[in-house]
Structure 1
Amino acid sequence: YNIHDGDQFHIDLKPDPPKPQYSNRTVDTTRHNKKSTDSNSTNSSTSSDDDKTNLSVEISPFSLDSLQKLAEEETINNNNINQTSIELDNLYPSTDKNVQIKMNDEDDDLLLAAAAAAACNNNLEFLSNGLEGRSRNPVSLLIDNLIHPDADLGARLQSKIKWRHDPSSSIDHICLGRGGIGGIWNQLTSKHLQTVSMADWMELPNYPFITFRQHLRMHRCRLSTNNEQIITDDENSKRATYDEIRSYYIHYVKRNRLINYFRNGCEVTSIERVCIDSSYYDDLTEEIRTPEALWEIRGFEEQTKNLFIIHAKYIVLATGISQEITRPLGIIGEQVSQSFTYTNLHDIEEIIVNKKRLRKNSKPLLVIGCGLTAIDVILLCQQYSIPILHVFRRAIDDHELVLNQLPANIYPEFERIKELIKQSSTITTSTSSDWFYQCCAQSEVISITEDGTVNIRNLRTQIIKDYNISCVVRLTGNEVKIPFLRSLTTKKCPGININPYTYECIDFENIYALGALAGDKLIRFLQGGALACAASLFKKYRQTSSINRLSFNVSSRTRTVQIID
């Protein structure tokens, strides 16, 4: 399922070519004569008293295509074959210890067929059971393990999934966005700062990042002149720059002809449950029926200020977590210092690079927090020699500190900041001919005055010191707030409460959440969430179809767009 599109993809699970193996582990598929011919008795069949020992067979999800073929062949040849022995290890060596099917010698063939059918019907709960990783959502872990096998161990193995586009199965949809294509990446335009994730983790289906880099290089060659030098240092880098990611997503939409699905520059102001049709009398059931309620999306176009209303049965929230809404400090002077307080990297880049309000001889910039965004701000300031006063509550050697979780060979710039923090904490300040940096670890800000005086307390010694600063960057974590969905409350939850196998919001029927809203903060997990969402939508379409097949003729009731002047 394409993240930016509603089109369905068939998934081929491609195993590596198995080596010939011979094993004594077999499954006896002999059918007993007592098996009932009634199809309704299939689920009630049990093993005999002599067959109480169950055989545990581990089945890799990559071998489900083979299992399905075996089930079909066994059904066809059932009348000609009295006894069959299937050596599962010869089909495919089992690799996934978490997916197990326990079968007995009476019903093994039925369960084998059921397992294959379950996979073909997108039984994601079955396939993703027992997986663990950096996401709390099992489907995201499943797809990530298939697309990026052993990624957390540093391996760069070939994907086990092949995406195939089926345009005949598309669902009518529209994508509303406040900015342009690419979302937040349009604000992160730095050509020097790099992503934390590996470049190939940022990929979308059927467009490798290395291929994009080759296209980008060819484009630069065509635009270059004799006086220009083509930058090729980052072409083989394992990580990508922010500017590369932004360009990649924009190019992906154009490459896959998805531009017509996007309506950019739209601000959504409210989402409410409404019923646009009146009740009616059903002659067949002799009852008064109420039409199914739809979601009403209201908003306006940013440039023209024209209002619009859209009615839809299903909504997918993929807004991310706003960087504008960070957790307040709850200190004295927080309100009076709002005029020189910033909460994201884009604003700091604006006042340093474009407006040039901060210079080498300016008062220090106060950076509060020690997460990834805070480190990016410090790296940016280091590049332009902007003085820094850095405050955070954790100890330098705290394992929860993000700098202590990143390998130095992959993140050398983060390692330099880590060493700088250690040096600054031992000699009070870190100064050089080019840059001033002072670190206050295990400290907290207790007050800020309107004239830029900040009071900082050391949590170990309780000593309070005063500093003069130019601006404040408050990077203390983001709050999940969706102002246009007024009934949503996420007081203590880091995301929206969702069904982990469908990504549907538990508190809102027919509303789905993807990405950071669902707890998947790394882009590598987005494809799993999109697949779970798409599988759920297709299942609902099948259930509501009178002919038990997908119907894609969307009426105006489920997609109504009205522009109000």
Structure 2
Amino acid sequence: MSSPRKEHLGASSSEPLAVIVIGNGPSGICLSYLLSGYTPYVRPDAVHPHPLLQRKLTEAPGVSILDQDLDYLSEGLEGRCQSPVALLFDALLRPDTDFGGDLQSVLTWKQQQERAIPHMVLGRNLPGGAWHSIEGSMVTLSQGEWMGLPDLQKGLGHNFVSGAVVTAVAWGTPEPRGSGAQAPSPLFQVTGVLTAKDQSQQPFSLWARNVVLATGTFDSPARLGVPGEALPFVHHELSALEAATQVGVVTPASDPVLIVGAGLSAADAVLYARHYNIPVIHAFRRPVDDPGLVFNQLPKMLYPEYHKVHQMMREQSILSPSPYEGYRSLPGHRLLLFKDDRQAVFRDPEGVEKVFGVSLVLVLIGSHPDLSFLPGAGADLAVDPNQPLSAKRNPVDVDPFTYQTTRQEGLYAMGPLAGDNFVRFVQGGALAVASSLLRKETRKPP
């Protein structure tokens, strides 16, 4: 942490910052990069393989992507993401990746300090967020080079404050000064606790004109809510399997490890177990060919390991001969309960109950964000305020071209909170937020 930022935080300054970013993972890093004056332009000699996008890019030569109409540029693009700006930025950085190509990015970057917006990125731990929990042995979608941002760490450190736990964010609109004065924008008060290297703690209170939520969704693993889920052999993190393997609790001779879930975390667990020849029962509620499965959203050439897991899920079931020794899948099975004697009880698609002996259980069915520092824990910000906030099913409702929440001016959400669940696509959210903030801050009266 740099001295100026630490002093600013410790002083609990009442002078509002332009932007406070809560969360220092991939989303926060990308946004800080763009807010630090690193500006994307289209290379003059670049030719994009998408004809319509190429024509649009030639209409504003020399104008930064941040200053262009993102709605207009992203119109007509298709891909593996619901966010139009995420598709746009991905198309500019990786013009033909999904087709196995390696065309160079059409972007060039300029460091323009005069365009930088003062900001502070607050994080509980060291910058990197979810990346720190990704094991080296695991396959991950978050390939570092896919950030596509040159000199990523250069000049960003002074904007980051580690050990800062935000406990409350409140907002209100100050009273206008003088008759006929324009109503001011809302101000946000961000309060929390800063833990120093010597573990001493001090409270802080900051004011900001804009707040960006970039906390990710890995705070609270989702649970099945079935009897026995709290038993000591049932876990909700892949690290539990790694630990059990390392100390010899789980071996190739053990009863199978039960992996519950049909997402990438569950696939990582299957890959890990297969690597160590640990027998696996893989259970999931959806049919194998459900178009909503994440495997159907990944290009096969880039992620052969994940597609291998999908192939195993499809070709293997408990009722068929095993083409994959040590692996059995249970598509369409619903878990009913876990028993003390390490048995798992399921109901199959025909309604028949089945019981399996297991050595360890990993329930990997997603996770929920912790927005307890917001009024109402952020529930009112979701697309459906009556349902729990969920990155996959009920994210924060944001404007697709600015990522500003639809419920509160000046409050933004990005990354998984806004439904962008791959690091590959969080950059588009950063582009949208930075573009919006640049417009807002440059027109702000002195």
State how far apart, in whole Å, the 2-side matches of 1:172 and 1:382 are. Answer: 48
How is 1:136-285 mapped onto 2 (pairs within 5 angstroms)?
A: 136-190=82-136, 192-196=137-141, 200=145, 202-207=146-151, 252-253=152-153, 256-274=154-172, 282=178, 285=179
Larger Rg over CA atoms: 1
How is 1:246-395 mapped onto 2 (pairs within 5 angstroms)?
A: 252-253=152-153, 256-274=154-172, 282=178, 285=179, 293-302=186-195, 303-322=199-218, 324-326=220-222, 328-334=223-229, 336-337=230-231, 339-353=232-246, 356-395=248-287
The answer on whether the counterparts of 1:430 and 1:438 sit within 8 Å (CA) in structure 2 is no
State how far apart, in whole Å, the 2-side matches of 1:286 and 1:399 are. Answer: 56
How is 1:438-457 mapped onto 2 (pairs within 5 angstroms)?
A: 438-457=328-347
> Which residue is equivalent to 1:459?
349
Name the amino acid aligned to 2:79. G
The gaps in structure 2 that reach 5 residues or longer are: 1-28
Report the count of equivalent residues.
398
User: What is the TM-score normalised by the length of structure 2?
Assistant: 0.78
The answer on whether the counterparts of 1:424 and 1:430 sit within 8 Å (CA) in structure 2 is no
Distance 1:395 1:64, change over 3 A: same
For the residue of structure 1 that corresponds to 2:407, the secondary structure is coil
CA shift for structure 1 position 197 = 6.1
CA shift for structure 1 position 403 = 4.4
The answer on whether the counterparts of 2:93 and 2:148 sit within 8 Å (CA) in structure 1 is no
CA shift for structure 1 position 175 = 0.9
State how far apart, in whole Å, the 1-side matches of 2:183 and 2:292 are. Answer: 53
Distance 1:400 1:376, change over 3 A: same
> Which residue is equivalent to 1:523?
423
For the residue of structure 1 that corresponds to 2:374, the secondary structure is coil
The answer on whether the counterparts of 2:213 and 2:411 sit within 8 Å (CA) in structure 1 is yes
State how far apart, in whole Å, the 2-side matches of 1:517 and 1:150 are. Answer: 27
Root mean square deviation, CA, Å = 3.3
How is 1:463-482 mapped onto 2 (pairs within 5 angstroms)?
A: 463-482=352-371
State how far apart, in whole Å, the 2-side matches of 1:496 and 1:147 are. Answer: 26
CA shift for structure 1 position 496 = 0.6
CA shift for structure 1 position 442 = 2.2
> Which residue is equivalent to 1:93?
none
The answer on whether the counterparts of 2:86 and 2:427 sit within 8 Å (CA) in structure 1 is yes
CA shift for structure 1 position 182 = 1.0
Distance 1:484 1:424, change over 3 A: same
CA shift for structure 1 position 534 = 1.1
How is 1:62-77 mapped onto 2 (pairs within 5 angstroms)?
A: 62-65=57-60
> Which residue is equivalent to 1:10?
39
The answer on whether the counterparts of 1:447 and 1:456 sit within 8 Å (CA) in structure 2 is yes
State how far apart, in whole Å, the 1-side matches of 2:207 and 2:298 are. Answer: 45
CA shift for structure 1 position 119 = 7.5
The answer on whether the counterparts of 2:217 and 2:417 sit within 8 Å (CA) in structure 1 is yes
For the residue of structure 1 that corresponds to 2:141, the secondary structure is strand
> Which residue is equivalent to 2:26?
none
Distance 1:164 1:369, change over 3 A: same
CA shift for structure 1 position 418 = 4.3
Name the amino acid aligned to 1:438. R
The answer on whether the counterparts of 2:36 and 2:156 sit within 8 Å (CA) in structure 1 is no
The answer on whether the counterparts of 1:498 and 1:505 sit within 8 Å (CA) in structure 2 is yes
How is 1:77-92 mapped onto 2 (pairs within 5 angstroms)?
A: none
State how far apart, in whole Å, the 2-side matches of 1:151 and 1:16 are. Answer: 20
| 1:498-554 alpha-carbon deviations (Å, 9 max, x no partner) | 0111111111221111111112222222222212111111111122224xxxxxxxx
CA shift for structure 1 position 10 = 3.5
> Which residue is equivalent to 1:513?
413
Distance 1:445 1:271, change over 3 A: same
CA shift for structure 1 position 366 = 1.7
The gaps in structure 1 that reach 5 residues or longer are: 19-56, 69-115, 208-251, 547-565
State how far apart, in whole Å, the 1-side matches of 2:54 and 2:135 are. Answer: 46
> Which residue is equivalent to 1:224?
none
State how far apart, in whole Å, the 2-side matches of 1:280 and 1:157 are. Answer: 52
Tell whether 2:400 aligns with 1:500. yes
> Which residue is equivalent to 2:12?
none
State how far apart, in whole Å, the 1-side matches of 2:157 and 2:170 are. Answer: 27
The answer on whether the counterparts of 1:8 and 1:165 sit within 8 Å (CA) in structure 2 is yes
CA shift for structure 1 position 162 = 0.9
> Which residue is equivalent to 1:229?
none
Distance 1:260 1:349, change over 3 A: farther
State how far apart, in whole Å, the 2-side matches of 1:120 and 1:182 are. Answer: 24
Name the amino acid aligned to 2:36. D
State how far apart, in whole Å, the 2-side matches of 1:531 and 1:438 are. Answer: 43
Higher mean Cα deviation, 361-370 or 342-351?
342-351
State how far apart, in whole Å, the 2-side matches of 1:16 and 1:503 are. Answer: 31
Name the amino acid aligned to 2:190. I
Name the amino acid aligned to 1:417. V
State how far apart, in whole Å, the 2-side matches of 1:507 and 1:426 are. Answer: 50
| 1:367-401 alpha-carbon deviations (Å, 9 max, x no partner) | 11121110101111222333322211233444544
Name the amino acid aligned to 1:502. T
For the residue of structure 2 that corresponds to 1:12, the secondary structure is strand
| 1:193-232 alpha-carbon deviations (Å, 9 max, x no partner) | 22236664x224225xxxxxxxxxxxxxxxxxxxxxxxxx
The answer on whether the counterparts of 2:169 and 2:191 sit within 8 Å (CA) in structure 1 is yes
CA shift for structure 1 position 446 = 0.9
For the residue of structure 1 that corresponds to 2:32, the secondary structure is coil
The answer on whether the counterparts of 1:324 and 1:343 sit within 8 Å (CA) in structure 2 is no
Distance 1:425 1:120, change over 3 A: closer
Name the amino acid aligned to 2:211. I
CA shift for structure 1 position 62 = 2.2
% identical equivalent positions: 30
Distance 1:351 1:181, change over 3 A: farther
Name the amino acid aligned to 1:448. F
State how far apart, in whole Å, the 1-side matches of 2:356 and 2:302 are. Answer: 35
Distance 1:527 1:291, change over 3 A: closer
Which structure has more relative contact order (CA 8 Å, sep 6+)? It is: 2
Name the amino acid aligned to 1:468. G
The answer on whether the counterparts of 2:186 and 2:409 sit within 8 Å (CA) in structure 1 is no
